[in-house]
Amino acid sequence: MQRGIHIARSSSFLIVSSQIMSVWTNESHTINNHIYGGVGGHGGAGGQRGGGGGVGEGSRFKYAVETEKFTVHNHFQIHGPGPEQKQQMNASEIKQSKAALALVRCPPPSHIFQGRQDILEKMEEYFSRNPGQRHIYVLYGLGGSGKTQIALKFLDMMNRYQTPWFTRQFFINASSLQTLDTAFRNIAISQRVGDTSEDGLLWLISEIEEWMLLFDNADDPNIDLFPFFPRCTHGNIIITSRNPQLAEHGPRSHSRVGDMDETDAIDLLLIKAVKEKTTETTQPASEIVKELSCLPLAVIQADSLILDKATIKSMFWEQYAQIYYDSGRFSKAEPLQQLVLERQKKLLGADHPDTLWAMGNLAATYRQLGRYQEAEPLVGIVLEKQKQVLGADHPDTLQAMANLAATYHKLGRYQEAEPLDVIVLEKQKQVLGADHPDTLWAMGNVAATYCQLGRYQEAELLQGTVLEKRKQVLGADHPDTLQAMANLAVTYRQLGRYQEAEPLEGIVLEKRKQVLGADHPHTLQAMANLAVTYHKLGRYQEAEPLDVIVLEKRKQVLGADHPDTLQAMANLAVTYRQLGRYQEAEPLDGIVLEKRKQVLGADHPDTLQAMSNLAATYHKLGRYQEAEPLDVIVLEKQKQVPGADHPDTLYQEAELLQGTVLEKRKQVLGADHPDTLQAMANLAVTYRQLGRYQEAEPLEGIVLEKRKQVLGADHPDTLQAMANLAVTYRQLGRYQEAEPLDVIVLEKRKQVLGADHPDTLQAMANLAVTYRQLGRYQEAEPLDGIVLEKRKQVLGADHPDTLHAMSNLAATYHKLGRYQEAEPLDVIVLEKQKQVLGADHPDTLWAMGNVAATYCQLGRYQEAELLQGTVLEKRKQVLGADHPDTLQAMANLAVTYRQLGRYQEAEPLDGIVLEKRKQVLGADHPHTLWAMANLAAIYHKLGRYKEAEELQVLKPDTLPSINYNDINSFVHDETMMMSQDLSQPSKCFPIMTRPLILSLIDKMSDLTSDMIESEVD
């Protein structure tokens, strides 16, 4: 969902240039390492992005982050001139015609125009093609960059040919619907064909010649220009705009107008200042144009101040701030906005509307920089002042209230945002009526808040109402109606109703293609949302081409560095990870991180998210040392600045990278903020992966208690924390403590989400795991069976989660010694994984290892050997020779060699595994110690007792650092029965050489494999 944030202006003050207009749109989406998508909220679109955007007016900022607000206007019905319009016109009408023509005649370019030859040549080449056919060229860029002057210069050049290219040229002020309508009325009047805009359009259609329409200042993204294009195949159009989205009108005929070349900028400044180019004038001129970023409008307006840089700065603070904000350079906009605010306070007073407007602009920049704590008091002041000056029910006051709610959203303080949203909704109903678009928009905001609070059922009802009302009031194809449909689909995803979400998102995508075009940002957003749902349905192959299209289109339309482009790149990296293509994901994650550092700064939440994503990829590649420091930084950052709570979740899988994330989040958001707690939960997951369960437990305990306090005991995120703690208890062998947590999670999820929700089924699967650990296999079996059947119904037989449930049931059959029943399940999983994910996908290789384990249990070692050999070779190719999973496959093959009595072949494999694990995990890691025990077992089999003795497997002083469950996990590893998530005990093949080891093995008592689906945030 998206949300509106803006400060309404009631008057203007010191407007230096009305041509400077801010346009900054940013559909933000938050991404996590599992899957991107989900509910947005105040200031951001649904799905994987967060944050706000905005629309500017005049030389001021006006931030609007409401639900994809834009307008589609009705097509004109154009009528030709009637007989009375063809009569002889009197002198008054002729005078009126000339006056109208003067209003739409293209003015000459500035006499001091400099440079831009590359763009002018490109335009000339384009318009020279295919005479007689329609041509549209778009010039877009920052305000004051010279777009209009380039267009006028081009027309002037074309008029200087012996035969001018364009027969008639009309200047259209496209800054508003009113100015557009007026311009076409004046065209009709000037040509004496009527007095309406429809008459003007009809005349252009009828004139089969090379006329030219220059749509200038088409900056408002809420205005659809298409209805103002004559419906014909001839004629020429040039559009100038700050909005890069309009490049879609000229997919292959547009130019981004950036800063001038420094030499041209110096020449322009000196010509305007009427100064000769000398050594004495060039140096100060160079300093000035650099200070002004070589922006043409700023250079022109600075001519009288060529020797006084300080005066230039004081006069152009507002323009600079606006320019920096437009280009996403928020850190440069901030100090200038602070100066503007201080000046307004001194000149106008703290309560003046312009002062409040400046305060709102600064708050918006703080939000863009992720500094929500600094934004909050400013927004609060604006609200209180608006109440005093305008009254509690004034639209501007309600807007200020909505802005404060949006800021609370950014801070994760949804409990505080809710009453504000409700008040705004109720007031809008009273003042505007229940069906007014602004009322429906407010209703959407309340729904967004409910989603963040985990109250999905209430959100669904509101979103359904918004959708139906918009269909009635605006029509089924209106952009706002489609947005409501998209929001409802997001909530369906939150409720696990992916099958219901998919058709809605498909409709939104197709409708936006028809109404807005295939390249429109809103169309691309719909495509990204559909990809999210495909992910949820496990249809990664269908998601990938959508992600690729979105990325490529955004590069073309918005540029490679635009936040939405970077988000698309991050989304594609997620898809590559899901498909096991980690080598392709890594460079994308790296690019996103570096770009966000440059644009947003190292501490911005989106930068920290990118850091987390890169950590996830490093973990998948087994590069733990590179991953760890990133997570530490993020965690510390979030602890340092006292903050509120934000429950957006990131899946972290790598300790040091997660530690980076955790440290950063502590600094930026505070120790209790939900994002900080999430980083803490992620770090705990990594500790589990590294076998450091004692370190994971206290972190997860903190997360659980904090979430209970902030979100309540029944919130989905609280239940997730409880499930995570239960996983750690299992890893520590504390199954009695894990069981009640698993039971609570299951019962609460049934109540809140329903019995068939994917998260409920996950809780059931986890409880089954605990029952297996407690030896209560008879209780585990029916749960595994229910999970399997429900997932087949909800997700389909081929979904990865369904296949995982099948593996779990096979694991229970193993526990019960029913290997004949386990075998067909394992084989089905393997075949399905091959079909859905491909033969080389890591999950497919895990399934192959499981089949091999079953064959071992059935004594079919020759068949097991072949599969294990395949797994080992594939993992070497896909993951590399040193990846932990590759080493595990090597250890598994060695186990089978031992079973076959081929000790000479097993020895070098066990030796390699031991050395590699020492290097990657350290000498004391449980996996390393178990590899040492395996090698000792081989030495014993070969009669090399002295070498076995020298390994000194598990010395008495080592025992306290390892618990039985640790060893169980690694025995499980060695017997190939591992799941995609965390491993659990299985039957132990190695024969230990030391009495201490033998006693430990005795205590393991008939361990078989578990296919645990561990839950991580």
On whether the CB atoms of residues 674 and 646 are closer than 8 A, the answer is yes
What is the residue range of 971's domain?
691-1004
> To which H or E segment does residue 95 belong?
helix 91-104
Look at residues 826, 801, 800, 828 and name the one whose alpha carbon lies nearest to residue 814.
826
Q: Which of the residue ranges 603-612, 653-662, 699-708 would you say has the lowest mean pLDDT?
A: 653-662
The answer to whether residue 866 sits within a structural domain is yes
Indicate whether 752 belongs to any domain: yes
**CA 645 remoteness from chain centre:** 20
* Residues whose CB falls within 8 Å of the CB of residue 931, separated by 6 or more in sequence, listed in order: 891, 910, 913, 914, 917
663 or 860: which carries more pLDDT confidence?
860
**In the chain, what is the greatest distance between 2 CA atoms, to the nearest angstrom?**
120
User: What is d(CA 195, CA 211) in angstroms, rounded to the nearest whole number?
Assistant: 20
DSSP H helical ranges for 433-478? 437-452, 456-474
Residue 684 counted as domain residue: no
**Distance in angstroms (rounded) separating the CA atoms of residues 126 and 135:** 8
**978 is a domain residue:** yes
3-class DSSP assignment, residue 514: helix
Amino acid 667: pLDDT: 67
Return the pLDDT at 637.
Answer: 59
Query: What is the rounded average pLDDT of the residues 811-826?
Result: 91
What confidence tens digit (pLDDT) does each residue in 171-200 have? 999 988 888 988 999 999 888 888 889 999
User: Strand order of the sheet with strand 236-241?
Assistant: 169-173, 212-216, 236-241, 135-141, 254-257
Q: Are 617 and 589 in contact (CB under 8 A)?
A: yes
Tokens standing for residue 282: 């060039």
Domain contains 822: yes
CATH code of the domain covering residue 115 = 3.40.50.300
For the CA atoms of 115, 118, 119, 124, the dihedral, rounded to the nearest 10 degrees, stands at 110
Got the DSSP string for 701-754?
HHHHHHHHHHH-TTSHHHHHHHHHHHHHHHHTT-HHHHHHHHHHHHHHHHHHH-
pLDDT of residue 519: 83
Residue 915: CATH number of its domain: 1.25.40.10
Q: Are strands 236-241 and 54-55 parallel, antiparallel or unpaired?
A: unpaired
Has residue 297 been placed in a domain?
A: no
Mean pLDDT of the chain: 75
Query: What is the per-residue pLDDT across 632-642, written as a single tens digit (0 to 9) for each?
Result: 766 665 554 33
Q: Which residues contact 741 (CB under 8 A, 6 or more apart)?
A: 722, 723, 725, 726, 729
Residue closest to 604 by CA, chosen among 50, 21, 2? 50
Distances (CA, A) of 606 to 39, 361, 585, 614: 16, 21, 18, 12
Distance CA(577)–CA(203), nearest Å, equals: 57
Map 834-863 to HEC letters: HHHHCCCCHHHHHHHHHHHHHHHHCCCHHH
Choosing from 517, 547, 577, the residue where a domain stops is: 547
Question: Are the C-beta atoms of 569 and 550 separated by less than 8 Å?
Answer: no
Going by pLDDT thresholds of 50, 70 and 90, the confidence category of residue 283 is: low
- Residue 23, domain member (yes or no): no
Asked which of 509, 528, 547 is the last residue of a domain, the reply is 547
The pLDDT value recorded for residue 100 is 77
Q: How far apart are CA 769 and CA 761, in angstroms?
A: 13
Share of the chain above pLDDT 70, in %: 73
Confidence band of 271 (pLDDT split at 50, 70, 90): low
Question: Rounded to whole angstroms, what are the CA distances from 272 to 306, 319, 320, 443?
Answer: 10, 19, 20, 53
How far is 37 from 535, CA to CA, in rounded Å? 9
Count structural domains, the chain.
3
Which tens digits make up the pLDDT trace of 324-370?
776 667 778 888 889 888 887 887 788 887 788 889 889 988 887 77
Number of Cβ within a 10 Å radius of residue 75: 11
CA–CA gap between residue 435 and residue 993 (Å, rounded): 79
Task: Please state, in angstroms and rounded to a whole number, the distance separating the CA atoms of residues 360 and 168.
Answer: 45
Q: Note the pLDDT tens digit of each residue in 568-604.
A: 999 999 988 877 788 899 999 999 999 988 877 787 7
User: How far apart are the C-alpha atoms of 825 and 806, rounded to whole Å?
Assistant: 6
Is 70 exceeded by the pLDDT of residue 146?
yes
Confidence label for 660 from pLDDT (cuts 50, 70 and 90): low
Number of neighbours of residue 10 by Cβ within 10 angstroms: 12
pLDDT recorded at residue 689: 66
Is 971 a member of any domain? yes
**Minimal CA–CA distance to 936: which of 994, 1001, 888?**
994
Task: Say if residue 612's pLDDT is above 50.
Answer: yes
Token code pair at residue 798: 């081929």
What are the distances in angstroms from CA 632 to CA 105, 411, 616, 780?
Answer: 63, 21, 14, 38
Provide CB contacts within 8 A for 518, sequence distance 6+: 553
Work out the pLDDT band at 73, boundaries 50, 70, 90: very low
Span 760-777, average pLDDT? 92
Closest by CA position to 770, among listed 1015, 1010, 981: 1010
| Boundary-marking domain end, from 523, 547, 571 | 547
CB 364 within 8 A of CB 54: yes
- Residue 896: the pLDDT is 92
CA distance 637 to 67: 31
429-440: average pLDDT: 84
> Which pLDDT value is given to residue 639?
54
Give alpha helix (H) positions in 537-629: 540-558, 563-578, 582-600, 605-620, 624-627
The answer to whether the CB of 220 falls within 8 A of the CB of 103 is no
Q: What is the predicted pLDDT for the residue at 22?
A: 25
* pLDDT number for residue 668: 60
pLDDT tens-digit profile of 467-512? 998 888 778 888 888 889 999 998 888 777 888 899 999 999 999 8
Say how far apart CA 293 and CA 296 lie, in whole Å: 9
* Closest alpha carbon to 984 in 732, 685, 616: 732
pLDDT surpassing 50 at residue 68:
no
In this structure, which amino acid lies at residue 639? K
Is the pLDDT at 756 greater than 90, yes or no? no
Residue 301: what pLDDT?
A: 54
> Which span out of 137-146, 266-275, 277-286 was modeled with the highest average pLDDT?
137-146
In this structure, what DSSP letter does residue 233 have?
A: S
What secondary structure, in 3-state letters, does 606-642 show? HHHHHHHHHHHHHHHCCCHHHHCCHHHHHHHHHHHCC
pLDDT, position 946: 87
Question: What single letter denotes the amino acid at residue 313?
Answer: K
**Residue 504, pLDDT score:** 95
Q: Is the pLDDT of residue 1014 over 70?
A: no
**Of 302, 291, 290, which is closest to residue 336 (Cα–Cα)?**
291
**C-alpha angle 967/969/974, rounded to 5°?**
95
What 3-state DSSP class applies to 585?
helix
- Count the alpha carbons within 13 Å of 322 in the hemisphere toward its beta carbon: 30
